[in-house]
Amino acid sequence: MKTSTSLKKQIPTSSLFKIGITATAFAFATARDASAITLQDLNNGGSITVGDKLFDNWSVLVNSIVGDDSASRAEFNLNNINITGDNSDPYNPTLTFTPFANEFTVTQNGAIAVSANLDFRFDVTVVGGLNLWQDHSLVATYTEVAVAVPNNDHNVHVHSELYTDDTLGTQFGGVDTHLIDEDGIPIYVNESGVTETIFFTQRSSGTSLNELSWNTDKDTESVGITSYTLGFSQVPEPSSTALLGLGGLALLLRRRK
């Protein structure tokens, strides 16, 4: 009991209780979906906040479609790509990319194979100082309409590489998924719906470089991405965990009064 008495003299019980409640409220507040925003708006200087994660400094680096694309596009329409945040699990905020009007699907319409690439980057920052980013996940869903002939190559790749800052000089992790068929070598693989995750030393910020690519090989062949989700799992920062503990202790002392 001497320890409890001493603790109450050093820090008022009411203050400890408020600290604990404030920390808890910040960690679990805004457990809802963030409003959707287009990749075009983000590329124009916009940002999106999900829980205590700020995603900003977006920049589209490559946007190209070449070959006999049935839609006769030279690039993807960034206004047809929506990004939505989800903080229903405050310790795993996510961003989901959803294309409209089949924007992430390419279809070959002729003899020339279609090759498409979309690369963009954005910064990830944990604000508030209560949590630390500890892992990164990626899951995508793919579609295909393949032509059943020999020597038929087609593939879709989604990569998310992590760097310490937007200079992209030092990489500290990365994940990727794919749908691939290259003449059966390697054997046909479809990772649609499979979540890939990488863990790393806990940190408060970084830059995500996303590289998406599509390739067809035969006339009428189609490959696409219907959606993909990036996860940014986190854990309480050690000092904030201590504050939460003090808040709980304060509540216990309050009840004993």
Whether 130 contacts 244, CB under 8 Å: no
Q: Taking the CA of residue 81 as centre, how many other CA atoms within 13 Å lie in the half-sphere pointing to its CB?
A: 23
Coil, helix or strand for 18? helix
3-state helix, strand, coil in the chain (%, to 5): 20, 45, 35
pLDDT in tens, the chain (257 residues): 333 333 333 434 444 434 443 444 444 444 445 679 999 999 999 999 999 999 999 999 999 999 999 999 999 999 999 999 999 999 999 999 999 999 999 999 999 999 999 999 999 999 998 999 999 999 999 999 999 888 889 999 999 999 999 999 999 999 999 999 988 788 899 999 999 999 999 999 999 999 999 999 999 999 999 999 999 999 998 865 445 555 554 554 555 55
Coil, helix or strand for 34? coil
Distance between CA atoms of residues 175 and 203, nearest Å: 17
The three-point CA angle 181-101-194 to 5° equals 40
